Structure 1
Amino acid sequence: MTAVPSRVPESFALVFLGGAVGTGLRYAADVLIGTIGDWPGATLLVNLIGAFALGWLYGRTSSRRWRLLVGTGMLGGFTTYSALAVQTQELLDHAPLSGIAYAAATVAVGVLAAQVGSRLGGRR
């Protein structure tokens, strides 16, 4: 989705505000949840919730503003691929099977969560 030049400042503001909320929520999840056994539970949880919520949002609305504020901004700030990649590498270093399982579960359940969210949001 490319922004119309006259809408760039508004688009930036929406993404910025949503991102600020999303990153704050992700930090709260890190503090409150942390790890679950060997797995980075907070990262897993925010990525699965984010996949579901993004699927729901895109199934529910075609509003450019909502997609920028909530999808790109808040959920983009809330979810984290970079932490997933680094934490998977750390698990692979000391518990290879756990690292493989964590990465596979995150991707597989994330895709399923996005599909369920999309269907519940109204997209068939």
Structure 2
Amino acid sequence: MIGTGGFIGASLRYTISSRVPKIQNIPAGTLTVNLLGSIVLALLTFSSEPESVVYLVNIGMLGSFTTFSTFAYETFRLLEDGQNISFFLNIFLNVMLCLLGVSIAYLALML
């Protein structure tokens, strides 16, 4: 199940991140998949889905869909290229928007 979810997640990540253009040097594709993944993970986790769903979706699909390593690499490249504002903005947007997405998902389920 984890492998199947991983295949689906990696395919979706490639499709989405390759189609979302950079915005002001910010790798918006990576930001998009991390934000979507954070929201879906929160929705599934806070809704107490069965263990089989957790393995397939949370671990398999979302584990390969979201990407901290690409975020770290792309952020480092911004710093290396002297894009200091984009460097800090990318960190801020990834962290804050993903936390906001989790918070909104949590609140939506608690209503």
Is TM > 0.5 for Structure 1 vs Structure 2?
yes
Give the aligned partner of residue 11 of structure 1: none
Deviation at 1:119, TM superposition (A): 2.7
- The answer to whether residue 33 in structure 2 is matched with residue 46 in structure 1 is yes
* CA distance in 2 between partners of 1:79 and 1:69 (Å): 14
Q: Distance in 1 between matches of 2:110 and 2:54?
A: 15
Match for residue 95 of structure 2? 107
Q: Which consecutive segments of 4 or more residues in structure 1 shift more than 4 A?
A: none
Percent of aligned pairs with the same amino acid:
30
Output the CA distance in 2 between the equivalents of 1:112 and 1:31.
24
Partner of 2:23, secondary structure, is: coil
Return the alpha-carbon distance in structure 1 between the equivalents of residues 91 and 70 of structure 2: 11
Q: Counterparts of 2:78 and 2:110 in 1: how far apart (Å)?
A: 36
What 5-or-longer segments of structure 1 have no aligned partner?
A: 1-13
Give the CA RMSD over aligned residues.
Answer: 1.4
Contact 2:12–2:65, Cα closer than 8 Å, also in 1: yes
Partner of residue 59, structure 2: 72
TM-score between both structures, scaled by the size of structure 2: 0.91
Q: Structure 2: how far apart are the matches of 1:85 and 1:41?
A: 13
Q: Indicate the structure (1 or 2) with the bigger Cα radius of gyration.
A: 1
In structure 2, what is the equivalent of residue 32 of structure 1? Answer: 19
Distance in 2 separating the partners of 1:123 and 1:68: 24
Q: Higher mean Cα deviation, 104-113 or 16-25?
A: 104-113
User: How many residues in Structure 1 have an aligned counterpart in Structure 2?
Assistant: 110
User: What per-residue deviation string (whole Å, max 9, x for no partner) do you get for residues 75-94 of structure 1?
Assistant: 11110000000000011122
**Normalised by the size of structure 1, how large is the TM-score?**
0.82
Q: Distance in 2 between matches of 1:119 and 1:18?
A: 26
Taking the aligned partners of 1:60 and 1:28, their CA distance within structure 2 comes to 27
Task: Provide the rounded CA distance (Å) in 2 between the counterparts of 1:119 and 1:16.
Answer: 31
